[in-house]
Structures are given as structure tokens and as C-alpha cells.
């Protein structure tokens, strides 16, 4: 697993590190040895230099097997990754779930080498799906069906060039008869965006060949791949001896101007027709293929005399002329793409015909042939999928059929769901959850509210506790709610009662003994509360009048600070004398920051608070004080620190917060705290909760806010180690509409400051993303952000340096004692390095960051069987990706 994660994030390290990386590095490669034990270490295959890892972190089903025979006729079989396999005796659809880079073209290769691993000598037939769409039928009983691909007598290889539309990709094996599906290896290779392009669909490989008669099929060296091909394309040798002659050169061919990065071993050879005036031709079996993409690779590899010329016409399928007078470039690679919708009659042909003015016959160095595979079925709406997986994690649901896309294809829909799927081009939506008798424990998951197309919800006959949530009334399409047979308590929200009474919903609640069904539950309480409410209202009126007098006096005394009246007074305003009482005359110091000293306080004798007092020597002042008060009075989120009150009296500026008993994150990472080091699960949860708070600032506030001072010291931890973001004195509102940035003086903390913001004075929400990425590196490494004694002083440069030198173990905090899910750790490291990309355009947004961290946490929890190291009251609420109609609610 280490190798896979290292290779993925090397592609994302950023411009400042790319110069160190050799072009041969496996940047972004995902190489999976299927069937390899989780306990085995990743390894480098001796014959290819490729780094392979176990598939155990990518699939939850299947069993391991080992091939029994080897065919000396194919060099492909000799490499170690193809000697093990994973087979699937249980279930109809079994899926690998991979993390990929959305919008990147990938070469995806699946290898199937049967070689009688099961001693049955029964070669299987099954289907291969890419997400919810059919990719190919793997028919190992039909040895002729794979004649145009890499030839394996005991197996086959399927390859497709595909651009994922999200950051996850499902590759599924689907049973279609009595035989058992299996797979030997999965290999994903990122490609340049300007090479294998298509307006629709994906490119399914039919043939990829180079032409040489010096390499025979029995020679393992005849197949060219990595490291000769930096993209690890598999090139199979082909030569038509009766009709062709080979030409070759030892002079290097220039390939730098050609985007396809063709290997010298391929472009330095070519075939020409035998006999003067003959055409060069080739053909392929292409049944059931309408759209075809060809890439013809040429180079003139003979030193031409002044009187020589090589010029020819290119014809596809005998009657479609692609070019009248093409001439290969001298010792320079060139690629001619052919994209045609011409229907072929069983076979398609290519002819290169010499023109009258040419003195030399046509030549061709290599060819790639693809059929366009239209993947028409859209994946389920990603917000629905995220919400569903959060619900799955909350209740720790493990269903063998819950693999791949939840809704489509319809015959493989997850148990307990119904989905809308009227048109394949429209992403399906989840319309029904039937989790009756699923053994659910705990409260009703808040993630249900994000399934906004839900029409029916059945949670009956489980062990659910807590209250009936108000958010159920906000699901506008919900018509049936069945909560019968649980242990719910409290009263039913009035909004749900009204909807049930008016026939808008059917609410079933029988069997909840502690659930109050009588509307009078609320009425009695209202009567009891009436007297104190009236008394409180009178008090509020008096207090408000006094406050107005104080504000008017302050206006007269301090005209330069007239903006103070803009502060909303819906939080308690304390006098400085009251602050002294709360802090017992400033007896106990909690810490000191840029604003001033923070004291421990006690409010009303039972509520602990943190009291931050502005120091006279502080570089911050009233502007920052007002910014923080204004922000915290209008935003509310479970992962933002709560403002209890403030004092604005003369020169005394005080902020009173909820007390965070476990200090700040930096103290725990730098071992300032006496408690044991944070576990990897706790670190992930803290990072995920912080990301959600920051996500809320960016897209949940109106107007959106940029924090500008994200650092580990400003991430506070309560007694349950729940993370809350604090210190909003430098926060700025973010422009909406056509504006892309705020032009402002640079502010922030050394080491965490976005270099692009520092250089341009242009502030964007990606500046917070950079700072958060630095914090995430701290969480992973426990290294100081800046350390002049290291070979690279800044943590971003230090981690990048270690990665490019293959130094993996020395990056991770040794106090973790390797007690972590490897997949989640390297995914988090990949995410951190993308966040600290030198260019803001290369960074993800906070919604993407929150989603990635949530997946990391789910992976770690899965490893531990869902166990949490911190108190069960710690409330991690996973984020989801929000579309234009969905923003994070204040929680």
C-alpha cells in the first residue's frame, strides 16, 4: 500500500518538486496485485521495476488463489503480480473501489490469468463493469476472442482509456453463469489530456502493435512496457513476414515534440511493403464496433538522399481517405489520429498507398486501435452516495451486496434501496430507504436529511434511541415515515404532527414506549415556562434600555469607533468588573497568543469558559476584536468555537468562549501535553472536523468567509477531543459572483501562509486550503512547521524531499507505532500535498478536502471494526459534497 500512495501523491506534490523527479518515476500509477495478502509488504517487480501492492484495502470480498501452471510462450506471465489472483465464489457483483483524480484520463488495465488456479480446468466466463456500465465480457473459453490483444493462452488482458467523473472509481466483476469470476491485477496509469481524446465515451483497446521481425512471439522481450514506455502501455510485436520488410535505426529519434511519449524501442523500427509499388496494409477484427479511433505513429528513420522522398496516402477501410500526401518527419516522431464512424464488415482495414511522386515505399512504425465504448448510464448522484455511505458508517452496516454503485444497474441495486432512474443520462437519486430489521443502534442519522429526493423512510423494528429529529419535516418529498418498534423518546416535533394531521405524510410510531404521542407534552411545559418567560422579557427590556444608554454614551466618548454600534447584541455583554469576577481576578492563565492572554473562568458557578483579554502590546486591536465578535454572533457550527460573550468597555476588550479542556492541537502534536500521543483515528477525526468547520465558513456563511489564520494552535479540543476552529480576528468575507479574489494586505502566521497570497496580495479561499494542508502535514508527521536544522526547513519542502527520495517511513510520526490503516494514511498524505500545491489552481476546495478525510476516517474505522478511541460522545458528523442548492447547515 505504501508504494501506491507514494506514487499517487508524487503526481500532486507541486511545481517546486517536479524538477527533482525523474521522468521515469511512476507518478500517479496505481498497481494492484490482486489476491496478495494484506500482511504482505508492497514490492518492486524485478522484471519491470513496477511497484505493486495488495488489493486488500480496495475490496471487501473474495478469496486468494495462486496459478498452477505457467506458459513459457508469454513473457507477460513471468512477472510476479500475475501469479496470484482473487476469485469470487460468493455474490453476483464484486467491486474494487479506487481513489482517482477526477477529470484525469487513465489507462485502466485488468489482467486475468487463469492457469488452472482452482484445479478444475474450467476457464470462466463473466462480465467486467466500469462503474454502472458494461465494459467487457471475459470469455477465457474463446481463445480467438482475444486475438487482437496481448496474447495469453491461459488468460486475457482488458484495457480502456477512461476519464472518471468523480474522485472514486468502481471496477466490478459480475457473475453470469456457473463459473467463478477472478482477477489477477489492476493497473491504472494517468495520461496526458492532449493525447487520447474523445468527445463521448471511453476508448476500449483493440490492438497496440509495433512492427519488427527481429522479435518473435516466443521471446518475452517482445512485449514492450514500463520502463521503456513511461506510461506503461503494453506494445505487442506484430509482423507480416510475407508482405513486409523491416527497417530500423540506431540513431535516436526525437520524441519530445510528440505528446504520446513513444519509446525509442518502438519508434526506431518500422515496416515497409515488399516489392516496388506495393501498398502497406493491415486489418483488424472489429465486430459490433461503430466508432473507431486509430493512432498511427510514424517517423522517417532512414537518412534520405536529396533525390529520395517518402510520400503516401492513408486510406481507412478501403474508401475513406484520411490523407493524400503524408510524409513522415525525419528522425522525429509524429502521430496521425483517425476518428471514424464508418461501419466495418467484420474486419476494418488500413492502407498506406505510395503516391506517384514518391521514390520510397510507405512505412509505419506503430499503431493503436480503439473502439469507442459509450458509457451511457450515469452514476448515482454523488451527494446521495456520500450521504448513504455516511449512514452505512454510522450504523456499521456490512452487506455483501453493497458494492459498486448503489442504484445501477437496477438488478444490482443495494438491498433496502429504491432509486429513480428514468433516463440513463440523469444521475439516479435515492427515493426510498427500507432499513427495517437491520439491527440499527443509536440515534437517527443526521445524514438522512441530505437524501433530499427521499419519498419513503422505513427504520422500523430496530434499536434506535433518542428523539425524532426535526429535519425529517424538511424533506419535501417524504410521504411515509415508519419509526415503529424502536426505543425513541421525547416528543414528536410539531411540524411532523401537523403534516401527519393534514395528510401530507404517513407517520408510523407504534412500539416506542418512551415516545410521547400526546400534543399536551409540549403544552404543559409551555404553561410551566410562561411565568419565567414573562419575567425574563421584562428583564430583557430593562437591560436593552440600559445597553442603549451605554452605547449612546460610548458614541460620544469614542467617535473614532462609531462602528462598535454595529455589533449584534444577541450575546451577553459583560462589564470588565464582571470579567474579573468570572476569572477570579485573572487567577489562572491558560495560554497566550497574538491577541493577548487567555484566562480560565467560571460563569454562573457551573459553566467553564475561556476568557481572552486583549494585551496592550498586541499587534491586533479593535478591528480584529470586532471582526471576531461580528462573525461568531452570526455563524453557528459544531466545529466552530462558540462565543459566550464579550466585554467592550473603554480600553478593555475581552472575548469569552466555551472552555476547551484539552487545549489545542499543537500542544498534543508537540508533546506539550502529558497525555499519550493522539492515535491515527483521533488525528483523522480532528482533521475531518476542522475541515467541516472551514467548509462551513467557505460555503455555508453569507457572505462566505476566509479564516486567514488556520494553524494547529487555533484548532481547539474539548473534553471529548472534538475539534473546533477558533481565532477569527483575521477573517475576511469572500467575494461572490464574477470576482475571484480579495486584494488585501497579507496577514497570517509564518509557515502556514499561502505563498501565492504572499506574492500577489490576492486572497482566495484556497489560501485557507494551503494553511490546512500544512496542518494536515503536522498531523501526519508531528514535525514542526519550520525547523532550520532540517535539510529542508519548511515542512512542505521536507515532506516533498523525503518522498522524491523514496523515504516513506521517516515521514510518519513514529509515536503512531505503525498502528494505522495504510490506505487512509497515504490518502491523507496525498491530500495534504495537493492542498499545499504552490499554485492555488492545483488545490482542492474544502468540500473535496472534507470528503477525502471522511473516506480516510471510514477506512481507519473499518480496520478497527468501527471502534473509536475517544469518548463515544465525540460527535463526528461527516461532510458531504454540496451542489448549488445545498450548503452546510449550522450544526
C-alpha distances (whole Å) from 401 to each of 150, 416, 440 are 33, 11, 18
pLDDT above 60 for 239: yes
pLDDT in the model for residue 791: 79
- Helices marked H in 644-764 — which ranges? 665-669, 680-695, 755-760
pLDDT above 60 for 147: no
Mean pLDDT value across residues 446-469: 95
Grid coordinates representing 239 are: 509482423
Q: Which residues are catalytic?
A: 709
**Could you tell me the pLDDT band of residue 148, with boundaries at 50, 70 and 90?**
very low
Task: State how far Cα 813 lies from the chain centre.
Answer: 23
Which of 126-135, 322-331, 333-342 comes out lowest in average pLDDT?
A: 333-342
Do β-strands 312-316 and 742-743 pair in parallel, antiparallel, or remain unpaired? unpaired
Give the burial string for 697-729 (b: 16+ CB within 10 Å, else e).
bbbbbeebbbbbbbbbbbbbbbeebbbbbbbbb
- Alpha carbons 184 and 162: distance in angstroms, whole number: 20
- Alpha carbons 847 and 166: distance in angstroms, whole number: 13
pLDDT in the model for residue 541: 58
Domains 2-201 and 234-373 share a fold: yes
**Could you tell me the pLDDT band of residue 876, with boundaries at 50, 70 and 90?**
very low
Q: Is 787 exposed, middle or buried (0-12, 13-18, 19+ CB in 10 A)?
A: middle
Q: Considering only the top CATH level, what class is 234-373? A: mainly beta
Q: What percent of the chain has pLDDT over 90?
A: 47
Total residue count of the chain as it appears in this document:
891
Residue with C-alpha cell 442548492? Answer: 885
Give domain 2-201's CATH architecture.
Sandwich (2.60)
DSSP state letter for 630: H
Pick the CATH number of 665-863 from 1.10.760.10, 1.50.10.10, 3.40.50.1820, 1.10.510.10: 1.10.510.10
pLDDT above 50 for 887: no
pLDDT in the model for residue 326: 95
DSSP state letter for 792: S
Give the strands of the sheet with 607-614, arranged side by side: 572-573, 643-649, 652-658, 607-614, 596-603, 589-592
What is the distance between the terminal CA atoms of the chain, rounded to a whole angstrom? 36
**Could you tell me the pLDDT band of residue 131, with boundaries at 50, 70 and 90?**
very high
Grid coordinates representing 203 are: 476508448
pTM: 0.59
SS3 145: coil
Q: Considering only the top CATH level, what class is 382-511? A: alpha beta
CB 114 within 8 A of CB 172: no
- Alpha carbons 46 and 811: distance in angstroms, whole number: 26
Q: Is 350 exposed, middle or buried (0-12, 13-18, 19+ CB in 10 A)?
A: buried
Rg over alpha carbons for the chain, rounded to the nearest Å, is: 33
Which of 457-461, 491-495, 696-700, 713-717 comes out lowest in average pLDDT?
A: 696-700
Which of 122-131, 139-148, 311-320 comes out lowest in average pLDDT?
A: 139-148
- Alpha carbons 47 and 76: distance in angstroms, whole number: 10
Is 356 assigned a ligand-binding role in the annotation? no
pLDDT above 90 for 842: no
pLDDT in the model for residue 32: 96
Mean pLDDT value across residues 737-758: 70
Mean pLDDT value across residues 830-852: 90
Q: Where are the domains of the chain?
A: 2-201, 234-373, 382-511, 518-550, 558-658, 665-863
Helix (H) or strand (E) holding 457, with range, is: strand 456-458
Grid coordinates representing 722 are: 472534538
pLDDT: is 340 or 462 the higher one?
A: 462
Mean pLDDT value across residues 393-417: 92
pLDDT above 90 for 44: yes
**Could you tell me the pLDDT band of residue 210, with boundaries at 50, 70 and 90?**
very high
pLDDT in the model for residue 509: 94
- Alpha carbons 490 and 500: distance in angstroms, whole number: 18
pLDDT above 70 for 214: no
pLDDT above 80 for 99: yes
C-alpha distances (whole Å) from 429 to each of 407, 432, 848 are 8, 9, 21
pLDDT in the model for residue 16: 33
- Alpha carbons 207 and 283: distance in angstroms, whole number: 10
- Helices marked H in 306-430 — which ranges? 382-395
Nearest Cα to 364, choosing from 417, 394, 326? 326
pLDDT above 50 for 871: no
Output the DSSP codes for 740-753: --EE----S-TTTS
Beta bridge partners of 105: none
pLDDT in the model for residue 744: 63
**Could you tell me the pLDDT band of residue 658, with boundaries at 50, 70 and 90?**
confident
pLDDT above 90 for 18: no
Helix (H) or strand (E) holding 522, with range, is: helix 520-557
- Alpha carbons 207 and 532: distance in angstroms, whole number: 82
pLDDT in the model for residue 552: 53
Beta bridge partners of 316: 320, 350
Nearest Cα to 683, choosing from 457, 871, 887, 853? 853
Which of 27-31, 343-347, 482-486, 530-534 comes out lowest in average pLDDT?
A: 530-534
Grid coordinates representing 539 are: 428583564
pLDDT in the model for residue 616: 61
Which of 21-25, 179-183, 548-552, 733-737 comes out lowest in average pLDDT?
A: 21-25
**Could you tell me the pLDDT band of residue 657, with boundaries at 50, 70 and 90?**
confident
- Alpha carbons 300 and 209: distance in angstroms, whole number: 18
pLDDT above 90 for 47: no
- Helices marked H in 198-283 — which ranges? 264-267
pLDDT above 50 for 76: no
Mean pLDDT value across residues 692-709: 86
Q: At what angle do helices 680-695 and 822-835 cross, to 10 degrees?
A: 40
**Could you tell me the pLDDT band of residue 665, with boundaries at 50, 70 and 90?**
very high
Which of 223-232, 418-427, 754-763, 799-808 comes out lowest in average pLDDT?
A: 799-808
pLDDT above 80 for 818: yes
Whether residue 703 is preceded by a cis peptide bond, meaning omega within 30 degrees of 0, is: yes
558-658: CATH topology? Phosphorylase Kinase; domain 1 (3.30.200)
Average pLDDT, the chain: 82
Q: What percent of the chain has pLDDT over 70?
A: 80
Beta bridge partners of 52: 43
C-alpha distances (whole Å) from 405 to each of 32, 163, 268, 391, 427 are 21, 17, 45, 15, 11
pLDDT in the model for residue 285: 78
**Could you tell me the pLDDT band of residue 17, with boundaries at 50, 70 and 90?**
very low
Q: At what angle do helices 822-835 and 795-804 cross, to 10 degrees?
A: 120
pLDDT in the model for residue 546: 56
pLDDT above 70 for 328: yes
pLDDT above 50 for 15: no
pLDDT in the model for residue 772: 96
pLDDT in the model for residue 261: 95
CB 887 within 8 A of CB 703: no
pLDDT above 50 for 749: yes
pLDDT in the model for residue 806: 64
Grid coordinates representing 566 are: 454595529
pLDDT: is 344 or 44 the higher one?
A: 44
Amino acid at each position: 500500500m505504501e508504494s501506491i500512495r507514494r506514487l499517487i501523491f508524487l503526481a500532486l506534490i507541486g511545481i517546486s518538486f517536479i524538477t527533482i523527479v525523474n521522468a521515469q518515476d511512476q507518478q500517479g500509477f496505481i498497481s494492484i496485485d490482486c489476491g496478495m495478502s494484506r500482511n504482505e509488504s508492497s514490492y518492486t517487480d524485478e522484471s519491470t521495476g513496477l511497484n505493486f501492492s495488495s488489493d486488500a484495502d480496495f475490496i471487501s470480498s473474495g478469496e486468494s488463489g495462486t496459478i498452477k501452471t505457467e506458459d513459457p510462450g508469454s513473457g507477460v506471465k513471468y512477472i510476479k503480480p500475475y501469479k496470484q489472483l482473487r476469485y469470487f465464489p460468493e455474490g453476483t457483483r464484486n467491486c474494487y473501489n479506487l481513489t482517482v483524480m477526477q477529470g484525469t484520463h487513465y489507462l485502466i488495465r485488468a489482467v486475468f490469468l487463469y492457469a488452472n488456479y482452482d484445479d478444475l480446468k474450467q476457464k470462466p466466463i463473466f462480465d467486467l463493469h466500469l462503474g454502472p456500465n458494461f465494459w467487457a465480457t471475459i470469455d477465457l473459453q474463446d481463445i480467438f476472442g482475444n486475438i487482437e490483444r496481448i496474447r495469453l493462452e491461459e488468460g486475457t488482458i482488458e484495457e480502456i482509456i477512461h476519464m472518471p467523473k468523480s474522485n472514486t472509481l468502481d471496477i466490478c466483476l459480475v457473475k453470469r453463469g456457473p463459473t467463478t469470476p477472478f482477477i489477477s491485477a489492476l493497473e491504472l496509469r494517468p495520461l496526458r489530456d492532449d493525447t487520447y481524446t474523445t468527445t463521448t465515451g471511453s476508448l476500449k483497446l483493440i490492438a497496440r502493435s509495433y512492427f519488427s521481425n527481429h522479435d518473435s512471439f516466443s521471446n518475452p522481450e517482445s512485449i514492450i512496457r514500463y520502463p521503456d514506455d513511461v506510461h506503461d502501455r503494453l506494445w505487442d510485436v506484430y509482423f507480416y513476414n510475407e508482405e513486409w520488410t523491416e527497417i530500423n535505426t540506431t540513431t535516436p529519434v526525437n520524441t519530445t515534440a510528440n505528446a504520446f511519449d513513444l519509446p525509442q524501442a518502438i519508434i526506431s523500427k518500422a515496416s515497409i511493403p515488399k516489392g516496388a509499388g506495393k501498398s502497406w496494409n493491415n486489418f483488424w477484427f472489429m465486430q459490433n464496433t461503430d466508432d473507431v479511433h486509430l493512432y498511427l505513429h510514424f517517423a522517417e528513420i532512414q537518412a534520405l538522399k536529396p533525390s529520395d522522398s517518402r510520400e503516401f496516402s492513408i486510406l481507412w477501410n478501403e474508401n475513406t481517405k484520411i490523407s493524400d500526401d503524408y510524409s513522415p518527419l525525419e528522425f522525429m516522431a509524429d502521430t496521425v489520429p483517425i476518428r471514424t464512424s464508418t461501419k466495418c464488415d467484420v474486419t476494418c482495414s488500413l492502407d498506406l498507398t505510395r503516391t506517384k511522386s514518391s521514390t520510397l515505399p510507405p512505412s509505419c512504425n506503430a499503431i493503436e486501435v480503439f473502439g469507442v465504448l459509450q458509457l451511457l448510464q450515469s452514476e448515482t448522484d454523488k451527494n446521495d452516495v456520500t450521504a448513504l455511505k455516511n449512514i452505512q458508517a454510522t450504523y456499521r452496516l456490512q452487506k455483501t451486496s453493497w458494492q459498486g454503485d448503489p442504484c445501477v444497474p437496477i438488478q444490482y441495486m443495494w438491498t433496502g434501496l429504491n432509486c429513480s432512474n428514468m433516463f440513463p443520462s440523469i444521475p439516479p437519486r435515492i427515493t426510498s430507504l427500507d432499513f427495517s430489521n437491520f439491527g440499527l443502534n443509536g440515534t437517527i442519522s443526521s445524514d438522512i436529511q441530505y437524501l433530499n429526493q427521499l419519498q419513503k423512510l422505513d427504520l422500523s423494528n430496530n434499536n434506535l434511541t433518542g428523539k425524532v429529529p426535526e429535519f425529517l419535516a424538511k424533506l419535501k418529498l417524504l410521504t411515509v415515515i415508519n419509526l415503529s418498534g424502536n426505543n425513541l423518546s421525547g416528543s414528536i416535533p410539531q411540524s411532523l404532527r401537523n403534516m401527519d394531521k393534514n395528510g401530507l405524510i404517513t407517520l408510523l410510531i407504534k412500539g416506542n414506549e418512551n415516545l410521547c404521542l400526546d400534543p399536551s407534552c409540549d403544552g404543559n411545559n409551555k404553561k410551566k415556562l410562561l411565568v419565567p418567560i414573562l419575567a425574563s422579557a421584562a428583564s430583557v427590556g430593562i437591560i436593552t434600555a440600559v445597553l442603549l444608554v451605554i452605547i449612546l454614551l460610548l458614541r460620544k466618548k469614542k467617535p473614532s469607533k462609531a462602528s462598535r454600534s454595529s455589533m449584534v447584541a444577541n450575546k451577553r455583554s459583560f462589564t470588565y468588573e464582571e470579567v474579573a469576577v468570572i476569572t477570579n481576578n485573572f487567577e489562572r492563565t491558560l495560554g497566550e497568543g497574538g491577541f493577548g492572554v487567555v484566562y480560565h473562568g467560571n460563569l454562573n458557578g457551573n459553566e467553564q469558559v475561556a476568557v481572552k483579554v486583549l494585551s496592550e502590546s498586541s499587534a491586533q486591536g479593535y478591528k480584529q476584536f470586532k471582526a471576531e465578535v461580528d462573525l461568531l454572533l452570526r455563524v453557528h457550527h459544531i466545529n466552530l468555537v462558540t462565543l459566550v460573550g464579550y466585554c467592550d468597555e473603554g480600553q478593555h476588550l475581552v472575548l469569552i468562549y466555551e472552555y476547551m479542556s484539552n487545549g489545542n492541537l499543537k500542544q498534543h502534536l508537540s508533546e506539550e501535553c502529558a497525555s499519550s500521543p493522539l492515535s491515527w483515528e483521533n488525528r483523522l477525526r480532528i482533521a475531518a472536523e476542522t475541515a467541516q468547520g472551514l467548509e462551513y465558513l467557505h460555503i455555508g456563511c453569507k457572505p462566505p468567509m476566509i479564516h486567514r489564520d488556520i494553524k494547529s494552535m487555533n484548532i481547539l479540543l474539548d473534553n471529548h477531543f472534538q475539534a473546533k476552529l477558533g481565532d477569527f480576528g483575521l477573517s475576511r468575507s469572500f467575494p461572490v459572483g464574477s470576482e475571484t479574489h480579495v486584494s488585501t494586505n497579507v496577514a497570517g502566521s509564518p509557515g502556514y501562509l499561502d505563498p501565492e497570497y504572499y506574492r500577489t496580495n490576492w486572497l482566495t479561499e484556497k489560501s485557507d486550503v494551503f494553511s490546512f494542508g500544512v496542518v494536515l502535514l503536522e498531523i501526519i508527521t508531528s514535525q514542526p512547521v519550520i525547523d532550520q536544522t532540517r535539510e529542508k526547513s519548511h515542512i512542505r519542502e521536507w515532506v516533498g524531499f523525503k518522498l522524491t527520495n523514496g523515504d516513506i517511513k521517516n515521514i510518519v510520526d513514529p509515536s503512531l507505532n505503525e498502528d494505522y490503516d495504510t490506505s487512509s494514511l497515504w490518502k491523507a498524505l496525498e491530500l495534504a500535498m495537493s492542498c499545499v500545491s504552490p499554485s492555488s489552481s492545483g488545490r482542492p476546495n474544502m468540500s473535496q478536502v472534507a470528503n477525502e478525510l471522511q473516506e480516510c476516517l471510514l477506512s481507519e474505522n473499518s480496520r478497527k471494526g468501527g471502534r473509536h478511541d475517544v469518548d463515544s460522545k465525540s460527535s463526528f458528523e461527516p461532510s458531504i459534497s454540496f451542489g448549488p442548492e445545498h450548503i452546510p447547515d449550522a450544526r
